[in-house]
Amino acid sequence: MSRSSINWGVLGAAEIAREHTIPAILAADNSQPYALASRRGVPSELVERFGFATGYDDYEALLADPAVDAVYLPLPNDRHAEWTIKAARAGKHVLCEKPAALTAGQTREAIAACESAGVLFMEAMMYQFHAQHARVRELIAAGAIGEVRGVHVNLTFNLEKSLADFRHGGLETGGGSLYDLGCYCIHVIRSLLGEPDRVATVARFAGPQAAEMSAAVVLGYDNGAKAGFDCGMDATPRHAYEVYGTAGTLRVPKAFVPQPDGDGPIDIVDADGNTTVERVTSHQYPNGVAHFADCVLTGRTPDYSPHDVLANMRVLDACIESLTTSRIVSLEKP
């Protein structure tokens, strides 16, 4: 593609789109907000607010618009695979909100549809585009904490009173904290330790639909490394991880939620408990949007490749299987 920017279509006016992704499209030099669709009617107010060229009251009509190069899908979780496939068949590149689908099997089908249509696919795991995480990996490679022994992740917020939210649904419709938050925790663990060999999950269910409100997961590695995370929609906000090794600990206290000022502190704690703080300023959503748009323009595979997306979903599958069967689930290497 010889152009310097792409035209984005957005399927749905969800909060994540309004608060983060559409502003990121506006902020990215290689992206233009072209079309917005809502099944509640043409979203005229949002079209005007964000400067979209047009609005639709039907998702299919947006996909049929030849001026749309790529679509962002912030739909409820159980519709991600369906609309990724429809977008691919319409010739649109796809940035799909996490989780990519409800199972690894659905994810594989969605990726296959994109590959068959010759379009790019990326799951919108945007936290990873904050530069603090690359800095964490640099510090580990430089021996800042010695040999890595494990990772702990915490990601919670309180949604207990918002019963109308789709996340209060059952696992079969993509509700619950594992789908909404656990996918982030799995991703950061995998980025630091690689693929786990086994997982075990416990959870709390609550509400009128017996939603999985919170979960705790242990991930085991045959090399002796250990990881764990807790995620939940029923507790005070927490979004942090730590990596500990034989000579120290790295703590990332603002790991997942975008900060308006881009702040990304890293606490470096040595073996004697002395702490040094590094601050990395970065803006994950504009970075992620710009990266995907650049891949569309140049034809290269996103850094967060479909293979990596599928590997993340395989671990999420295992977490849910462990939860529903009350047993440890073994994983084969992808």
Residues 199 and 323 in one domain: yes
Residues 94 and 152 in one domain: no
Q: Has residue 244 been placed in a domain? A: yes
Which of 127, 143, 178 finishes a domain? Answer: 127
| Residue 163, pLDDT score | 63
| Residue 164, pLDDT score | 65
Q: Are strands 211-220 and 248-252 parallel, antiparallel or unpaired?
A: unpaired
Q: How many domains does one find in the chain?
A: 2
What is the rounded radius of gyration, in angstroms, for the C-alpha atoms of the chain? Answer: 20
Statement: residue 225 has pLDDT above 80: yes
CATH of the domain at 164: 3.30.360.10
User: What pLDDT digit, counting tens, does each position of 87-117 carry?
Assistant: 999 999 999 999 999 999 999 999 999 999 9
Sheet holding 198-206, edge to edge: 275-281, 263-270, 248-252, 234-245, 148-158, 226-232, 211-220, 198-206, 329-330
| Residue 63, pLDDT score | 98
Q: Has residue 35 been placed in a domain? A: yes
Residues 142 and 249 in one domain: yes
Residues 180 and 258 in one domain: yes
The model's confidence at residue 154, banded by pLDDT at 50, 70 and 90, is very high
Over residues 288-296, mean pLDDT:
98
| Residue 157, pLDDT score | 94
CATH of the domain at 75: 3.40.50.720
Residue 16 domain boundaries: 6-127
Residues 117 and 141 in one domain: no
**Contact at 8 Å (CB) between 87 and 94?**
yes
Which of 102, 127, 152 finishes a domain? Answer: 127
User: What pLDDT digit, counting tens, does each position of 113-123 carry?
Assistant: 999 999 999 99
Residues 61 and 190 in one domain: no
Which of 69, 98, 127 finishes a domain? Answer: 127
Statement: residue 161 has pLDDT above 70: no
What does the DSSP assignment read for 286-298?
HHHHHHHHHHHHH
Residues 117 and 102 in one domain: yes
pTM, 2 dp = 0.96
Burial class (CB in 10 A: 0-12, 13-18, 19+), 157: middle
Residues 140 and 237 in one domain: yes
Name 36's bridge partners. 10, 55
